[in-house]
């Protein structure tokens, strides 16, 4: 077993800040001083740069990190498609495909349909399913080879990735939204413990391994893979200098390394590359980074720290007010992906229909529910349930279901706290998303009667233009 040169008490102490320039060393003196690439880096380490933007990207967008590690990441056998039983040039210690290599939905054709879609909670994973095997693509837009677009996944896993396994995505940054079960994410930069009501972002290229902790050894959640750019905090405009997600509440791991080199090709690294999985093996642990510095690193955020802001007079504001992270497109104010949450909050709007209004949006809206209920939709069996999802694609009309509408229309408008213990979220994108076969059929979770069930019973309140209505207009 690898030796972990790390004080366990230190494991969950994080560095704080969003889009900061950070540094961390697990061994004093491992970071070169005033140099990135000295002739002989300290302690016999190799220096390796990891780029998250072009070298020449403007300073305010530039994201790079320097890793000081025992061996650089190029020291591995050639990659082979993950379905191949023995991807390495030399014999693999586990010739049968690992659970991480049994994907089938990444290559699924995408279906573009204007219907509103909702899914019952997705199944928990069968025994022995690790994070990579348990990742299912639901929807996507764009093309990772052009670094444009995004993909939406759900995951369900019942087992930690093997101690000798690691995964990375060359396709994009992964935003993970756990819904059940905590994930202990071992990254090259250190550890991140990510529980339900927390999120994390693992940038493109960063190797990681997911351990399932708590939740009875089972975990379920949602993921967004951002093929273009990186997440930023939204502009605050007139809100001012604080509010929504505050930069200091983002947490980055501290350097922590394993030491294991030369005992045969025992480490398996799975790469997601153009939506296919490839595997290689190597003699050394990929988690051998003793120190790092830079602006390109994984991070986590506790959604409970979100400073929710809303109307204190009248009318329901646009949900942009709830944006945690935003990945901009080239058009100002237009996101490839916004990550938006609907946390518990006070509603005080006067003479206001307080739940979301009916609308058609040029953006696509994928929603999930981490816990509790959502104020515009009934919960319970056949409703919008934790672990389920909905998709309202570009210009697909939606809004509160009939019961929620009537309830809100007739509600006494005293201050009310909505969503106690609840949290829904939305991945909102300027792109029209296609839906996979797995999402439409194989997962068997689509609620066939979603639209009818939600809006079929909406009453006509129109008073008409007859005597009664004229009377009403004159009232």
Q: Which is nearer to ligand OMD, 220 or 398 (CB)?
A: 398
Least CB distance from residue 377 to Fe ion, whole Å? 11
Q: Tell the smallest beta-carbon distance from residue 245 to Fe ion (Å).
A: 21
In angstroms, give the least distance from the CB of 426 to ligand OMD: 6
Q: Which of 25, 101, 164, 365 binds ligand OMD (CB under 6 A)?
A: 365
Two structure tokens written together for 389? 């999802």
268 contacts which partner out of Fe ion, ligand OMD, none, CB within 5 to 8 A by kind? none
Pairing outcome for strands 165-169 and 257-259: unpaired
| Interaction between residue 254 and ligand OMD (CB under 6 A) | no
**Binders of Fe ion in range 343-402 (CB under 5 A):** 365
253 vs 235: CA distance, rounded Å:
25
Tokens, residue 5: 């040169």
Interface of this chain with ligand OMD, residues 420 to 449, rule: CB under 6 A: 426
The catalytically annotated residue of 124, 316, 392, 461 is 316
| Spatial separation of the C-alpha atoms in residues 219 and 331, rounded to whole Å | 37
Calpha distance 472→453 (Å, rounded)? 32
Q: Residue 270 or 447: which CB sits closer to ligand OMD? A: 447
**Tokens standing for residue 234:** 């939204």
Q: Which of 352, 346, 335 is CA-nearest to residue 309? A: 346
Structure tokens, 32: 């070169």
The sign of the torsion formed by the CA atoms of 231, 236, 237, 240 equals: negative
Annotation-wise, does 398 bind a ligand? yes
C-alpha span between 76 and 284 (Å, rounded): 9
How many residues bind ligand OMD (CB under 6 A)? The answer is 8
Binder of residue 181, out of Fe ion, ligand OMD, none (CB less than 5 to 8 A by kind): none
Site for ligand OMD contains 370 (CB under 6 A): no
d(CA 301, CA 304): 9
């704080």: which residue's tokens? 16
From the list ligand OMD, Fe ion, none, partner contacted by residue 147 (C-beta under 5 to 8 A by kind): none
Nearer to ligand OMD, 136 or 345 (CB): 345
**Minimum distance from residue 399 beta carbon to ligand OMD (Å):** 7
CA dihedral over 155, 157, 160, 161, signed as positive or negative: negative
Q: Is residue 35 annotated as a catalytic residue, yes or no?
A: no
305 binds, among Fe ion, ligand OMD, none (CB under 5 to 8 A by kind): none
Could you write out the DSSP letters of every residue in 451-472?
Answer: HHHHHTTPPP----SSHHHHHH
DSSP tag of 254: P
Q: Which of 319, 344, 372, 382 binds ligand OMD (CB under 6 A)?
A: 319
Smallest separation (angstroms) from ligand OMD to the CB of 456: 18
Q: Does 166 bind ligand OMD (CB under 6 A)?
A: no
Residues identified as active-site: 316
Annotated binding site for homogentisate: 374, 398
Residues forming contacts to ligand OMD in the complex (CB under 6 A) are 316, 319, 356, 359, 365, 376, 398, 426
């Amino acid at each position: 077993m690898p030796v972990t040169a790390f004080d366990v008490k230190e494991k969950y102490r994080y560095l704080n800040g969003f889009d900061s320039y950070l540094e961390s060393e697990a061994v004093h003196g491992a970071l070169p001083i005033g140099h990135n690439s000295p002739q002989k880096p300290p302690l016999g380490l190799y220096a390796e740069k990891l780029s998250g933007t072009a070298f020449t990207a403007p300073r305010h967008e530039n994201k790079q990190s320097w890793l000081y590690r025992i061996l650089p990441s190029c020291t591995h056998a050639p990659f082979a498609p993950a379905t191949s039983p023995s991807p390495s040039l030399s014999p693999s210690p586990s010739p049968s495909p690992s659970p991480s290599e049994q994907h089938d939905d990444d290559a699924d054709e995408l279906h573009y349909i204007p219907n509103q879609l909702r899914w019952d909670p997705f199944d928990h994973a069968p025994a022995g399913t690790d994070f990579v095997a348990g990742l299912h693509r639901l929807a996507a837009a764009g093309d990772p080879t052009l670094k444009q677009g995004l993909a939406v996944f759900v995951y369900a896993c019942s087992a930690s990735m093997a101690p000798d396994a690691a995964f990375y995505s060359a396709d994009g940054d992964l935003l993970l939204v756990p819904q059940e079960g905590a994930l202990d994410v071992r990254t090259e930069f250190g550890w991140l413990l990510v529980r339900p009501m927390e999120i994390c972002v693992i940038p493109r290229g960063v190797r990681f391994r997911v351990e399932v902790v708590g939740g009875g050894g089972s975990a379920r959640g949602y993921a967004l893979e951002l093929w273009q750019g990186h997440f930023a905090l939204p502009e605050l405009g007139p809100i001012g200098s604080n509010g929504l997600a505050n930069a200091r509440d983002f947490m980055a791991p501290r350097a922590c390394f394993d030491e294991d080199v030369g005992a045969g090709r025992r480490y398996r690294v799975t790469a997601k590359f153009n939506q296919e999985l490839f595997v290689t093996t190597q003699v050394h642990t990929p988690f051998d980074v003793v120190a790092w510095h830079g602006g390109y690193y994984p991070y986590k955020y506790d959604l409970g720290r979100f400073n929710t802001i809303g109307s204190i007079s009248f009318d329901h504001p646009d949900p942009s007010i709830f944006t945690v992270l935003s990945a901009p497109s080239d058009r100002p104010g237009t996101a490839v992906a916004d990550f938006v949450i609907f946390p518990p909050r006070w509603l005080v709007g006067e003479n206001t229909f307080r739940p979301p209004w009916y609308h058609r949006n040029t953006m696509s809206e994928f929603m999930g529910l981490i816990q509790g209920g959502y104020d515009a939709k009934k919960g319970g069996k056949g409703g919008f349930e934790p672990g389920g999802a909905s998709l309202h694609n570009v210009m697909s009309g939606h809004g509160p279901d009939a019961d929620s509408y009537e309830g809100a229309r007739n509600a006494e408008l005293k201050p009310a706290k909505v969503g106690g213990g609840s949290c829904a979220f939305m991945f909102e994108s300027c792109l029209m998303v296609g839906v996979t076969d797995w999402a439409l059929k194989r997962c068997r979770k689509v609620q066939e009667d979603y639209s009818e069930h939600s809006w079929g019973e909406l009453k006509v309140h129109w008073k008409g233009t007859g005597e009664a209505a004229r009377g009403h207009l004159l009232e």
